[in-house]
Chains A and B, each alone.
Chain A
């Protein structure tokens, strides 16, 4: 020690250290993996988001199996048709409970108290999921998929995106459906869950307390 003082030495600057401190500060393990929840979480309304995530996991799992074996398998074999149906119905579960979760969060104003980012990420997940489902319907490799694509081309052309987003191009639609869009939705779902854990679950809206005659008397 040159100066002999007991001043704390500044920590060495490094981006890994800064990142570690940021994560430790913003994402403590007690928030990431809580073992207790506020009492108001004891309502079925708070279950909708979890069920939507469960549906999403089934969508990804069944989709991976479908991508491994291909269209001929999922149309012609019994097990393939079963996994294909599993994929379809898990998408229904995902969307139904995502919308129920949206209704619940809308009516309790889930964006309150610094939760705007959580709300906005959820809205983006919903929008991208619609595109993911749409590309899935036109990747079926059957007449239904062709019919949807032929009709949808007029909509995409009218919107001016037909040259970039060619719904009649199976390779492009299938690639978007099994790579880019699931990666986007999965990443954003992970970010959404992290934001929920960072900021906690929003409180129910408390009813406004109106002034009672006894209050006025006590005030005067």
Chain B
């Protein structure tokens, strides 16, 4: 844990493995959030449309 992190170098990009893993994990979470079904909001669920947005600002 106390040793310096390994870096990867590709052209002008220089990034440590921990930072690269962190970014990859965030991208993975983002993609999963887009694709994963939300509990209680499947296709058969009744849409609850409440006009809460107001365009007067």
Name A residues whose Cβ lies closer than 8 Å to a Cβ of B.
Answer: 31, 34, 36-39, 42-45, 47-48, 96, 99-100, 103-104, 113-115, 117, 198-203
- B-side interface residues, number (CB < 8 Å): 23
Confirm or deny: B50 has a beta carbon within 8 angstroms of a beta carbon on chain A.
Answer: yes
Q: Are B30 and A103 in contact (CB under 8 A)?
A: yes
Contact partner of B55 (CB less than 8 A), chosen from A47, A99, A104, A114, is A114
Contact partner of B53 (CB less than 8 A), chosen from A96, A99, A104, A203, is A203
**Given A114-B55, A199-B57, is A42 in contact with B30 using a C-beta cutoff of 8 Å?**
no
Q: Are A44 and B32 in contact (CB under 8 A)?
A: yes
**Given A96-B26, A104-B30, is A37 in contact with B36 using a C-beta cutoff of 8 Å?**
no
Q: Which residue of A has the minimal Cβ distance to B32?
A: A44
Q: Which residue of B has the minimal Cβ distance to A44?
A: B33
A-B contact count (CB 8 A): 68
Q: Are A39 and B26 in contact (CB under 8 A)?
A: no
Q: Are B34 and A45 in contact (CB under 8 A)?
A: yes
Distance between Cα atoms of A77 and B38 in the complex (Å): 42
Distance between Cα atoms of A36 and B38 in the complex (Å): 16
Q: Are B40 and A42 in contact (CB under 8 A)?
A: yes
7 A-B pairs within 8 Å (CB atoms) are namely A37-B50, A38-B52, A39-B49, A44-B33, A45-B34, A115-B57, A200-B53
Q: Are A100 and B53 in contact (CB under 8 A)?
A: no
Distance between Cα atoms of A96 and B49 in the complex (Å): 30
